Amino acid sequence: MREQRKGMLLVVSGPSGTGKGTLCERLLRSDPSITFSVSVTTRRPREGEIDGVHYRFVSEEQFDQMLGQNAFLEHATVHGHRYGTPRAQVEEAIEAGQNTLLDIDPQGALSVMSAKPDTVSIFILPPSYSALRQRLRTRNTDDPEEILKRLSNAYGEVKLLKHYSYAIVNDQLDQAFALLSAIILAEKQRTTRYFPEIYEE
């Protein structure tokens, strides 16, 4: 038997504080077939974030320059900061047969899904808005004003759920990760990207 595979574009999205970043990190550690597409952002790095690993941190001027070069697959302004997904990085990886993961906000995710209809899109939900509020407060990465902005945006973002292929409620991390892994395992076998050839023995 001979196997051939086309790369898969995987979008994991949802409101801030739902644990999508944690799920993505765990996925990348457990599945070597998946590579992470590093987004570009104009926001300042949080404690522990590394330029070129978590994000590419750029100035407003650099972001404008990339926009002028049509360098983004999608871009959006979220919570007052600009974010973008580098087009060439994603398209080259998929063409090479790599599965590529985007951890992006719902606004950007919709743009990617529109540009790439075969995107595997997964929306991560909190078990409740009160749980989301608690998570945002306890992670200690944002000031109170930023937390309020992110909570306010979450109500609108959850309404976008219907545009996604899959939904996962992240109440228990292990259970949410098991669901995420199962979705990806099934999508790898989809006949639009998996081409096995069998022969006579």
Looking up residue 124, the CATH number of its domain turns out to be 3.40.50.300
Q: Name beta bridge partners: 72.
A: 86
pTM assigned to the model: 0.84
Enclosing domain of residue 107? 2-191
- Considering the domain boundaries, does residue 178 fall inside one? yes
Region 31-52: mean pLDDT is 90
- The predicted pLDDT at position 24 comes to 95
CB 85 within 8 A of CB 112: yes
What confidence tier does 108 reach under pLDDT thresholds 50, 70, 90? confident
Q: Write out pLDDT tens, residues 135-173.
A: 888 876 677 888 888 888 899 999 999 999 999 999 999
- Considering the domain boundaries, does residue 199 fall inside one? no
- Considering the domain boundaries, does residue 179 fall inside one? yes
- Considering the domain boundaries, does residue 144 fall inside one? yes
Region 111-128: mean pLDDT is 94
What confidence tier does 48 reach under pLDDT thresholds 50, 70, 90? confident
Instruction: Look at the chain and report how many structural domains it folds into.
Output: 1
